[in-house]
Amino acid sequence: MKKLNSEKLQKVLANLGNGSRREIEAMIVAGKISVDGKIATLGDRVDVNANPKIRINGHLVQLRSKEKEVCRVLAYYKPEGEICSRHDPQGRANVFERLPRLKNARWINIGRLDINTSGLLLFTTDGELANRLMHPRHEIEREYAVRVFGNITDQQLNQLRKGVQLEDGPAAFNSIKPQGGDGLNQWFNVVITEGRNREVRRMWEAIDVQVSRLLRIRYGNITLPKGLSRGTWMELGIDSVNYLRQLVGLPAEVKSFTTKSSSDKRIAKPKRLKLNQTSRSTRQKVNKKPTRM
């Protein structure tokens, strides 16, 4: 029987920034989560106001009142070579290493970019905001600058607009705009509204065209700031945060973590964090930065 004021365990933990709901469900199945000393099972519900003792891998989860939190969002310029997971058996650099540290909270990435893709990646402290923004029902636009090699015909472009068949179903670009190029290296700006794994690359591969460079330049109306360098971040102001919240039906924030209040998305100065020695050595060689179009 559903308890009053209770929520599914995976939703509570996702909102607290402990991973996506799918990741937390996998941890529950693996027996890594307990509630009040009892191993959790799928379907368990908890009442946060009752202060349950929730542990992940034996570590106590800090339960915080959502009403007292301020939703924060960062815009990060992801370089190529970084992965979007916190832990990697291969020891590769990840996108969380350069973000500012938080006390009793975690940064949650809004979607992912594969290791060979660079550009705009958003992070938030609000798990519910992240989950809603990633849900395909909201059809939020993602725009990419794509460099491909070869002569691309109008017939191929029309095919991408109409749709191609991928392993996980049909897919089509909402728009394709040629941006010029040098020789056989041609640039296009493309827009999609889904976040399927490697979707942009796979769509071009479906017409026998290889992508040699992929850069995300926009998420919704949040664009990759021109002054932001690879591996640096800036915090969005309350107007931009509330734009994202409005997109997915969440109430507006009345306070902002930043000291400024502006509709300008680039209100916070980019901050370059110190890297650990291992991460620094993996980033010594960086490709030349492409022109944003």
The DSSP code sequence of 80-92 is TT-BSSS--TT--
**Domain 7-63 sits in which CATH superfamily?**
RNA-binding S4 domain (3.10.290.10)
The tokens of 191 are what?
A: 């827009």
Residue reference for tokens 């991973």 = 19
The tokens of 12 are what?
A: 């509570």
104 versus 280: the higher-pLDDT residue is: 104
Q: What architecture does CATH give domain 68-136+221-282?
A: 2-Layer Sandwich (3.30)
282 versus 24: the higher-pLDDT residue is: 24
pLDDT at site 68: 52
267 versus 76: the higher-pLDDT residue is: 76
pLDDT at site 286: 34
Q: Which residues are catalytic?
A: 114
The whole-chain average pLDDT of the chain stands at 84
Q: How many other β-carbons are positioned within 10 Å of the β-carbon of residue 283? A: 17
Name the nearest CA neighbour of 91 among 279, 293, 225, 247. 279
- At position 281, the amino acid (one-letter code) is S
Name the nearest CA neighbour of 247 among 133, 127, 121. 133
The residue ranges of every structural domain in the chain are 7-63, 68-136+221-282, 141-219
Contacts of 208 (CB under 8 A, 6+ apart): none
In angstroms, the CA 147 to CA 180 distance is 10
Return the SS3 of 17: coil
Please state which CATH number belongs to domain 141-219.
3.30.2350.10
Q: What percent of the chain has pLDDT over 90?
A: 58
Examine the pLDDT at 82 and tell me if it is beyond 80: yes
Q: How many other β-carbons are positioned within 10 Å of the β-carbon of residue 288? A: 5
The tokens of 282 are what?
A: 């993996």
pLDDT at site 189: 97
In angstroms, the CA 219 to CA 140 distance is 7
For residue 135, CA distances in Å to 111, 161, 198 come to 10, 22, 16
Model pTM greater than 0.85? no
pLDDT bucket at 3, cuts 50 / 70 / 90: low
- At position 204, the amino acid (one-letter code) is W
Examine the pLDDT at 42 and tell me if it is beyond 60: yes
Same fold flag, 7-63 and 141-219 = no
